[in-house]
Structure 1
Amino acid sequence: MKLALPALSLALAASVAAQFYNESAAFQLVLISDDPSVNGDTLSACHSGAAIEALCLSNSNTTSKPDPIPAASFHFNFSDSVVTPNETLGQPGILTYWLQTSTTPIPSAVELYSDPTTNTAIPLFYPGADRATTMAFDENDMLNIQGYINYSTSPPTAGNTTAYYRWWACRIYYIGYTYEALVWVEGPGEPETPRCAKVGVKRVFI
């Protein structure tokens, strides 16, 4: 059954409702930026707690990751039962990663972790997909988050699906771990954290 537009927002908010069971081929995530210090770098999964991983820059040098590490392999899970509002902007789904352990791999999905005292959210992989944030890859394989409400008007207006590309590379702090990692800016401005680099996130299949 196809979801109507009013119901689509619920599917975009909760992966359980969307049932994103279809898994894509493996790919890496490559950063595109005007900043040469990060342009062309890849993203890795960096330990940030019990079965929690941040999307750190593979070649970065920080307290918690002093040396380069290999790029991680990711997947994109999608659903046949969720309408794609705009094919050019991409099919809604969730970004997933198989965390390797000494026993069995743990399926994980990205959720944006928000701290209400700042304007950036950290994409973190948590086990399962109950709280995953819905994302998409557009026709150029660039990662985005879509919304159909325009908050720049008063009152906000709804109806047109828009893709947002508010990705930056910043130094992050999360429960004692410090990385140079991918962050999402909540709103149209720049990150509060100094010396961040604006990036695009491109999917490159392996």
Structure 2
Amino acid sequence: MKTVSILSALFGLTLAQYDTYSAPFRLVLSSDDPTLNNTALGACHEGAAVEGLCKTNQTTSDPPTFYTTFYQATSSNSGSTYDTPSILYYNLTISSGTQIPSAMRFSQDYTSDVAIPLFMPGNSTYTPVYVDQDCEELYIPRRVDDSVSPPNPLAPPEKVKSWYVCLTKEAYEYYTLVWHVGGRGSPANPSCEEVQVRRVFT
């Protein structure tokens, strides 16, 4: 319990600027692949208190479950949960029944062109994501186009939605959500299928 209290305190301090919490939602895929389209992502074990985002067979017509339920934290100063930086998090339930908020951050092997979203307890490190107001899809803004020289600042930023589901091996072999770093072309991993990730409130 002491460890949980310390984690909660650290979580609260880190979230000082992310003080508005959303209602629960699922992360639902849109894809040309019928085995992925309209299915929800679910938390899956990637190590001690570490969760990835795996494909499931759950759809929006199924009742939500704890492992397909996620939350979002944004700043109250933004006045909206749309097109603003936010922290995606999952409540990890431990053996005592206590829930530990776990923030999402990208994990990348620098020899790979994809990053794997992972949830870890606390919020000292996280990767901010944004929600497109037009379609509820998750994205990360590109503020500078470095495919040209000199690099070209983008105003407004480009909404990059470089999400794929691929067979990966972080700790275990799963089909997981990944982010294609750079957002141009396709990942080298031949198993990857392009997807969009929608926020669907439960």
Higher mean alpha-carbon deviation, 154-163 vs 27-36, is at 154-163
Q: CA deviation at 1:102?
A: 1.7
Tell me what 1:4 maps to: none
Q: CA deviation at 1:41?
A: 1.3
Tell me what 2:143 maps to: 148
Structure with higher helix content: 2
Structure with higher strand content: 2
Consecutive unaligned residues of structure 2, counting only runs of 5 or more, are: 1-12, 59-63
Tell me what 1:182 maps to: 177
Tell me what 2:7 maps to: none
Distance of aligned partners of 1:186 and 1:18 in 2 relative to their CA distance in 1, 3 Å threshold: farther
**Candidates 82, 106, 110, aligned match of 2:100:** 106
Q: CA deviation at 1:153?
A: 1.8
Tell me what 2:18 maps to: 20
Tell me what 2:4 maps to: none
Kept after mapping to 2: 8 A contact 1:168/1:199: yes
1 CA distance for matches of 2:33 and 2:117?
21
**Candidates 128, 133, 136, aligned match of 1:134:** 128
Distance of aligned partners of 1:144 and 1:115 in 2 relative to their CA distance in 1, 3 Å threshold: same
Give me the TM-score of the superposition, normalised by structure 2.
0.82
Q: Which runs of 4+ in 1 moved over 6 A?
A: none
Tell me what 2:83 maps to: 90
Kept after mapping to 2: 8 A contact 1:18/1:81: no
Q: CA deviation at 1:95?
A: 0.6
Kept after mapping to 1: 8 A contact 2:142/2:154: no
2 CA distance for matches of 1:21 and 1:45?
23
The answer to whether 1:170 aligns with 2:163 is: no
Higher mean alpha-carbon deviation, 18-27 vs 183-192, is at 18-27
Consecutive unaligned residues of structure 1, counting only runs of 5 or more, are: 1-14, 61-68
Q: CA RMSD, aligned part only?
A: 2.3
The answer to whether 1:46 aligns with 2:44 is: yes
Equivalent position amino acid for 2:50 in 1: I
- SS of the residue corresponding to residue 129 of structure 1 reads coil
Kept after mapping to 1: 8 A contact 2:15/2:123: no
Identity, in percent, stands at: 39
- SS of the residue corresponding to residue 47 of structure 2 reads coil
Kept after mapping to 1: 8 A contact 2:107/2:116: yes
Q: CA deviation at 1:150?
A: 1.5
User: Within 5 Å, which residues of 2 pair with 1:25-36?
Assistant: 25-36=23-34
